[in-house]
Structure 1
Amino acid sequence: MAFKLLEAQLRRLWEANCFQVPVDQMVFFGLRGCLPLDDADHEFRMEHHVDLTEPDYTHPRCTLGQWYQGKVALFPGSTVPHRKYIEKAIAKNGVGTNQMMLGYYKDYSKGRHKEGGPTEHEAFVQTEGRPIRRTSDDFDYDEDDRVEFSNPYDNLHAAWSMSVHDSDFGSAGCQVVVGYPQCPKRGENGEAGPWKSFRQNAYRLTQDSFPYALLTGRDVLRVTQAAPGTLTVRLRYGSQGPVVMQLQEALKKAGFSAGEIDGDFGKQTAAAVLAYQTAKFGPHWDDGVVGPMTAEALGLSLPKL
């Protein structure tokens, strides 16, 4: 299903998740299960066309984006690991491969991926822990897979793939953009593909650290189709503000401590939401997102935009 993505809708998406709206900085975002309709157009524009897809853990089936000065640039890539790494990890109880949970992360900094090795290249490096899922029973990631809070160094880097039709890409959990890096292994060959534009756009700025919002194509579609006054706010990792404070107070009242009542949906709040959902709905229904059902159970009223 193809639809139009406007810069104004992206702003509304941020507001619908209580994410900090960017001011005078470039922000990265990932849309899981969504591809640019024109995967060769990497220009900053106020509108693009995108198409819903389903991640298959074999081909790049996601969009990585940059939002800057009121315009958006889109790049094909992946926000999920490749199946070849998942197969190896299953034999080790999921260790070695992970999938980042949806949310807002503040710490992708300019740095080196695979530093000291033959594939070392300029990229964007994680510096803090975050919630991730590991699977030990099948080849995808869902609510019955365990959640860990750690820093597996899911950097944002080149995918080592030619296009969205390529059946291989280099990610065991990292966020990757189609294309190739400049690195010792490639010799005199320079950067190529969408990755070249993505990295250069960010590296030419004096900004060193880039917030990253990870959502889904269906999250964007929900925003684009909602009439004014009907879009219900959702809370997830990285949400901030007074509604998060109300959530933390409701969790505490229900016997699930979210730590300090500070309006920051961080590690302790995420752990409390997951524990509450498991206790209330069962072990297969803990997605870590406070939507209408979880909010109702907590007696929390989510505002509408």
Structure 2
Amino acid sequence: MHTMAGIPDAMLEQVLGDIPLDGSRLISKKQNPVDKTWTIVIDRGSDLATYDSTQMRDESEDVPEPEAAGTAIRDSQDSDVAAEFSELSETDALILSEADLIALWRRSAFPIPDKTAIVFGIRGCLPVDYGGTPMAQSHQISLTPVNYRTMNCTLGVWIPGQGFSLYPGSTVPYGPWVASGTRSGGRGVNQLGRGRYRKYVPGWHKRSEGTNGHWALLQECPITLQRTADDDDFDLADRWEAGRIAGDNIHCAFNMGPGAAIPSSKYSSLGCQVIAGTVKKGVPGSETGPWKRFISNFPKDTAAQVEYVLFDGLEVQQMIRSRCEGKTIILRVGSNGPHVEELKRRLSSVIGRSLGSSAEFDVETFQAVIDFQTNTFGTNSDDGVVGEETANKLGFSLPIFDYRDAVSGGRGDAGVKTGAGPAIEVEHIVNVGGVSLTAEDFKTFAPPPGGSKAIYMTYVNAFVSEKGQRILSEYGISAKPIRVAHFFGQAAHETGLFRLLRESLTYTTVEAIRNAWPSRAARHPDQWIKDHLLRNPEFLGDWAYGDRMGNDKPGDGNRYRGGGVFQLTGKDAYRSVSKLLEATGGGHDLVADPSLIEDPYISLIAACAEWKDFGGNALADNDEGRRISRGINRGDTRSLHAAIGEDDRLELVSAVKKVVATRG
């Protein structure tokens, strides 16, 4: 048998996977005479690599496999289904649909870009089709416990609205290299944390190799990762690091196994996300297997930037089987929106340092959560995910996740809040100048609902907060009581007394549809409405709003339905307000992601920008309520047609006038 410095090639192949040895140079080698293990150091041209593995034995010896290990889970609310792993067989398949992907994104408060490719991973789950699937609306998957020896994960490409494809691979490092890393405190080997990472770009996997290497997606953003120094897997006992750009790219696994038996195949990863297949470095077109299908989405002539989102197989199973019924939303790296702002405000108060005012759950926020969880729950109790338990300890509550709302175009967080009692009412923190309203003031002209107050308090908390007051001040609205009265009177009408974030197009009765669109509904018999419009928000949206207001593509009617403080409606309106926001430095593209209008602060800025655009302050100073009503509802302050609900708008304005009469 040919040997390399005395080490059999078969043994080298076992531990090194498919890393090419051509041109490599053995620096040192040592075999333990007792357990027959080898420690070797290889010069690979661009770096040194140390390998230490119990796999480097004579092939006739029986090598025990490590126990199956999963992802560190504390607060994601998935631990209650962990036992289901023991009940699964290899044929226990699940159907993952695009609706489930939308729900997974919404439950974690991840933004969903419009028709832009997203790469995602599912740890501990394989597609039933090992060859890599074409784009479709659903695929079969099967939970497969991670063992750090063979590929038991899925990576996918999702284009919202067009479908997704799946490919077998691994999202964890290769076990023998993990074992080697434990001897140096985990240095050189790591496991990526679950979450949303915003920037991966096509390029050469190793820049030093350039065109002599192979094409991959390069990590170009801060990430979170774990290192283990005690055993060969990763759990809550292992330390977290945040913020590093560690070079954890998405690349070829350099293996598919004998006969493409993916679940029996080793792979090449020190922490990168890898996809089954092979490629010859420096040889264009040499890609094979699922890797070939995956990387074809990112050709060398593209400058595309993609996000990478990593989930655990258990949370995906939970979404498919139970739709996470009764569970709250969760916040983690990459989450965005008002719940993150509340989290950061609470954390800042506890840890005594500012986490900034953005609505992004960034790596600094992650580290603050880790520190808080360790101090609150004890050592080895941190996962950086904020669920009901961590939120309660911070003194706030998260809303129950609503699957139906999520897949119908909503944000998925309209359910009642749990845990820390009723929604927290925040009095204004500081008066930044001008006329301000308190939470009690809002109750006088817009009483809170008798049921869930989650949406109501989302609006009110934003309006009375320091950030909300600064927005109103910047647009001159809080400068005079009369302006505050007109602005919030109109807002109260548009949002149904602050009870509506987005217009709901999920109608359940023919009568309700006839009342909402009498002239359009008059063209159809009851049976047609039942068959086509009830509980069908996408079709109803196109029926009601399609081919007008800029809605020129299927699904636009529902996608750009009413939303926010002034219930912005139609693609033209979303585009117009996006341009206004861009002109003021806001930079929020509501056309690309209409769900941004559900963020109360973005919604408030959008309403203020619209108000400024039609001259709302000047009209309010002259008490021209009807012209303001038509500017908001008709898009033209000089329209001869009354605004819908014009009299109700003016009554609400009068009610707010009474509240602010003695102010300013």
Structure-2-length-normalised TM-score = 0.44
The answer to whether the 8 A contact 1:257-1:272 is kept is no
Give a deviation string over 1:35-68, Cα, whole Å, max 9, x none. Answer: 1012124211101111111110000000000001
CA shift, 1:190, in A, is: 0.8
Task: Look up the match of 1:64.
Answer: 155
Give a deviation string over 1:224-259, Cα, whole Å, max 9, x none. Answer: 233586342100111111110011112123235461
Query: Alignment partner of 1:295: what SS?
Result: helix
Correspondence list, 1:7-156, <5 A: 7-68=98-159, 69-117=161-209, 120-149=213-242, 150-156=244-250
Letter in 1 for 2:205: H
> Pick from 345, 351, 375: which aligns with 1:279?
375
Task: Name the CA shift for 1:188/1:129 in 2 (closer, same or farther; >3 Å).
Answer: closer
Q: Aligned Cα RMSD in Å?
A: 1.9
Task: Name the CA shift for 1:56/1:271 in 2 (closer, same or farther; >3 Å).
Answer: same
CA shift, 1:81, in A, is: 0.1
Matched, 1:260 2:346: no
The answer to whether the 8 A contact 1:258-1:272 is kept is no
Task: Name the CA shift for 1:55/1:65 in 2 (closer, same or farther; >3 Å).
Answer: same
CA shift, 1:11, in A, is: 0.6
Task: Name the CA shift for 1:30/1:288 in 2 (closer, same or farther; >3 Å).
Answer: same
Q: Unaligned regions of 5+ residues in structure 1, if any?
A: none
Matched, 1:237 2:333: yes
Q: Which has the higher strand share?
A: 1
How many positions carry a matched residue from both structures?
A: 303
Deviates more, 1:82-91 or 1:190-199: 82-91
Letter in 1 for 2:333: Y
Give a deviation string over 1:72-91, Cα, whole Å, max 9, x none. Answer: 10000000000121122111
> 2: distance between equivalents of 1:177 and 1:6?
21
Give a deviation string over 1:193-217, Cα, whole Å, max 9, x none. Answer: 0000000023288451110100111
Query: Alignment partner of 1:176: what SS?
Result: strand
Letter in 2 for 1:165: P
Task: Look up the match of 2:533.
Answer: none
CA shift, 1:297, in A, is: 1.3
Letter in 2 for 1:42: T
Q: Unaligned regions of 5+ residues in structure 2, if any?
A: 1-91, 403-664
> 2: distance between equivalents of 1:196 and 1:287?
34
> Pick from 265, 288, 303: which aligns with 1:192?
288
The answer to whether the 8 A contact 2:115-2:162 is kept is no
The answer to whether the 8 A contact 1:124-1:157 is kept is yes
The answer to whether the 8 A contact 2:351-2:368 is kept is no
Deviates more, 1:206-215 or 1:270-279: 206-215
CA shift, 1:114, in A, is: 2.1
> 2: distance between equivalents of 1:174 and 1:12?
26
CA shift, 1:262, in A, is: 1.3
CA shift, 1:168, in A, is: 1.6
> 1: distance between equivalents of 2:375 and 2:195?
22
Structure possessing the higher relative contact order (Cα contacts under 8 Å, 6 or more residues apart)? 1
> 1: distance between equivalents of 2:324 and 2:245?
39
Matched, 1:219 2:315: yes
> 2: distance between equivalents of 1:64 and 1:119?
25
> 1: distance between equivalents of 2:127 and 2:300?
24
Matched, 1:180 2:271: no
> 1: distance between equivalents of 2:309 and 2:298?
16
> 1: distance between equivalents of 2:315 and 2:236?
18
Task: Look up the match of 2:394.
Answer: 298
Query: Larger Rg: 1 or 2?
Result: 2
Task: Look up the match of 2:646.
Answer: none
CA shift, 1:119, in A, is: 6.8
> 2: distance between equivalents of 1:181 and 1:25?
27
CA shift, 1:218, in A, is: 1.2
CA shift, 1:294, in A, is: 0.9
Task: Name the CA shift for 1:228/1:91 in 2 (closer, same or farther; >3 Å).
Answer: closer
Letter in 2 for 1:96: G
> Pick from 139, 159, 167: which aligns with 2:253?
159
Task: Name the CA shift for 1:300/1:200 in 2 (closer, same or farther; >3 Å).
Answer: same
Query: Alignment partner of 1:303: what SS?
Result: coil
Deviates more, 1:294-303 or 1:55-64: 294-303
Give a deviation string over 1:171-204, Cα, whole Å, max 9, x none. Answer: 00000000012413xx587100000000002328
Query: Alignment partner of 1:254: what SS?
Result: helix
> 1: distance between equivalents of 2:125 and 2:149?
15
Task: Name the CA shift for 1:228/1:216 in 2 (closer, same or farther; >3 Å).
Answer: closer
The answer to whether the 8 A contact 1:256-1:272 is kept is no
Query: Alignment partner of 1:201: what SS?
Result: coil
Letter in 2 for 1:195: W
Task: Name the CA shift for 1:2/1:119 in 2 (closer, same or farther; >3 Å).
Answer: farther
CA shift, 1:219, in A, is: 1.3
Structure-1-length-normalised TM-score = 0.94
Task: Name the CA shift for 1:231/1:182 in 2 (closer, same or farther; >3 Å).
Answer: farther
Deviates more, 1:253-262 or 1:243-252: 253-262
CA shift, 1:12, in A, is: 0.8
The answer to whether the 8 A contact 2:124-2:152 is kept is yes
Letter in 1 for 2:108: N
> 1: distance between equivalents of 2:114 and 2:294?
20
> 2: distance between equivalents of 1:231 and 1:21?
21
Query: Alignment partner of 2:168: what SS?
Result: strand
The answer to whether the 8 A contact 2:366-2:384 is kept is yes
> 1: distance between equivalents of 2:168 and 2:325?
32
- Calculate percent identity across the aligned residue pairs: 36
CA shift, 1:223, in A, is: 1.6
> 2: distance between equivalents of 1:40 and 1:167?
14
**Runs of 4 or more above 6 Å deviation:** none
> 2: distance between equivalents of 1:200 and 1:119?
19
